[in-house]
Amino acid sequence: MDGVRLLSDEALVERLQRAAFSYLVDYADEDTGLVADTSRPGSPCSIAVVGFALSCYPVAVQNGWMSRPEAAARTFKVLRFFARSTQSAASDATGYKGFYYHFLDMKTGKRVWQCELSLVDTALLIAGILVAAGYFDGDNEEREIREHADALYRRVDWRWAQNETAGLSQGWKPECGFLHYGWEGYNEALILYVLGFGSPTFPLTASCYETWSLTYQWENLMDRNVLYSGPLFTHLFSHAWIDFRGIRDAFMREKNSDYFENTKNTIAIHRDYGERNPYEFAGYSRDFWGVTAGDGPSVPALRQSGRDRRFYGYMSRGVPYGPDDGTISPWAMLATLPYAAEAALSGTRHLLETYPQVCTADRFSSGFNPTLRCGSEGWLSEGWYGLDQGLLAMTIENHRTGLIWNIIRRCGYVRDGLARAGFNGGWL
């Protein structure tokens, strides 16, 4: 990226935000409106990326990057597709019980890769659908957006996904039924529970949230008390939609904290970890961090500088307990703008000035590992990932204007879900 030093913080952030948003347009199917998981040829749609896209169309309108009629048309196209798509137990359907398969064919919308019917990815899609319903408040096509959005949310059978237990499964497959693992420990599923509790048709049972929160790990790490989850993205995804400042559930009331403060403390731990650099990875510092889920090198283990090095490919990495192989996600620092603006900007500028190759066409790559040398430079992920770009466009907007947070604050379903999960205080 050229001229980083010459750009003001505001100009730099807006330029990167617009480029991140443009992914959601450049890699959308013209007929279905579905958005590709990655920019790599043949990539299927990720339903979570579609949720980010639906949330970002209002961002584009507010910033003058897209007209309101075009944004409404794109939104309606997607909602109409999901409303008409096949919901059945067939192995090539688009979804079942109101949920959707994680990955879909871009043209047909059919399940690909024998993937799971994904609860959390459906939740991220539904969150985007609710943003669309809250933003497009006009007549004609905008009225149809709201009608489709409401119908799509109401048909999700969250209660079915409990599989007659007090917990909640992570997914289901027609070949084998519910997956044999549920949600344990704090992670990105917070928005899944909120939306599940807010349902007017098939809400989660009252004990479901407590069952999950009993698996939380409250720890003291690097002299900070924190609700632990290692990968950085788990502290950002739900927050892209819900403003957790000042609102608390029973767990956070007991700890005299909230999930927003917890994210801030987690960012501080990531920076401290980068500074301490216990495994002596190249580049790590207080301005080089962002260990999270994403693409990484898939190469054989090697011995380097007196250490054995293993590399994990696409993996959910975490801090401080790992796994960590020296791979950071270049977009991750900037995505923390709403929580630690000074650290986010300082780290992003350092990254762009030191390793400019991580940002091509103003879009950040999914993963970068300077410890693993590939020729004269470190290993770099190929192309772009939609989740990275969508999250970045949303979190920057929440930092700049609070647009998504304000839309979701007005959503009765989300407010009901928060209340049923035990949240109160603050803007509630």
DSSP for 320-368?
A: SSS--SS-B-TTTTGGGTTT-HHHHHHHHHHHHHH-GGGEETTEE-S-E
The continuous run of DSSP H or E covering 380 comes out as: strand 377-380
pLDDT digits (tens, 9 = 90+) for 130-145: 999 999 999 999 999 9
pLDDT for the residue numbered 73: 98
C-alpha distances out from residue 418 to 29, 61, 113, 189, 388, Å: 34, 28, 34, 13, 26
Predicted TM-score (pTM) above 0.95 = yes
Mean pLDDT, residues 337-356 taken together? 97
**Arithmetic mean of pLDDT, 330-336:** 98
pLDDT in tens, 254-268: 999 999 999 999 999
- Burial class from Cβ neighbours inside 10 Å (0-12, 13-18, 19+) for residue 2 reads exposed
Distance (Å, whole) CA 382 – CA 140: 42
Map tokens 């700890």 to a residue. 255
Q: What is the pLDDT of residue 263?
A: 98
Distance CA 57, CA 36 (A): 16
H/E element holding 372? strand 368-374
Q: How confident is the model at residue 249 (pLDDT cuts 50, 70, 90)?
A: very high
What is the model's pLDDT at position 279? 95
pLDDT of the residue at 376: 79
- pLDDT of 106 reads 98
Predicted confidence band of residue 155 (pLDDT cuts 50, 70, 90): very high
**Which DSSP letter does residue 221 get?**
E
Beta-carbon contacts of 24 under 8 Å, excluding residues fewer than 6 positions away, are 35, 49, 52, 53, 56, 386, 389, 390, 393
Q: Which of 273, 287, 285 is nearest to 333 (CA)?
A: 287
Q: How far is CA 319 from CA 200, 276, 344, 363, in A?
A: 38, 12, 17, 25
Q: Is the per-residue pLDDT at 1 higher than 80?
A: no
Q: Which residue has better confidence, 214 or 1?
A: 214
| pLDDT at residue 28, rounded to an integer | 98
Pairwise CA distance, residues 148 & 133, whole Å: 9
pLDDT band, very low/low/confident/very high, at 374 (cuts 50, 70, 90): confident
174 CB-contact burial (10 Å; exposed 0-12 / middle 13-18 / buried 19+): middle
Structure tokens belonging to residue 71? 């944004």
Buried b (16+ CB within 10 A) or exposed e, 345-375: bebbbbbbeebeebbeeebbbbbbbbbbeee
- Is 400 a residue whose pLDDT tops 70? yes
Query: Does 181 score more than 90 pLDDT?
Result: no
DSSP of 145-189:
HHHHHHHHHHT--TTGGGTTSSS-BSEEETTTEE-S-B--SSSTT
The chain-wide mean pLDDT, for the chain, equals 96
Q: Give yes or no for residue 83 having a pLDDT over 70.
A: yes
Between the alpha carbon of residue 253 and those of residues 75, 206, 267, 327, the distances in Å are 38, 18, 21, 35
pLDDT at 6: 86
184 CA to centre of own chain: 18
What integer pLDDT is reported at residue 307 of this predicted model? 87
Of 417, 25, 32, nearest in space to 204 by CA: 417
Cα–Cα dist 366/387, whole Å: 9
Q: How far apart are CA 311 and CA 290, in angstroms?
A: 17
Across 274-288, average pLDDT:
97
Query: What does the pLDDT read at residue 297?
Result: 95
Residue 2's pLDDT band (boundaries 50, 70, 90)?
Answer: low
207-217 average pLDDT score: 96
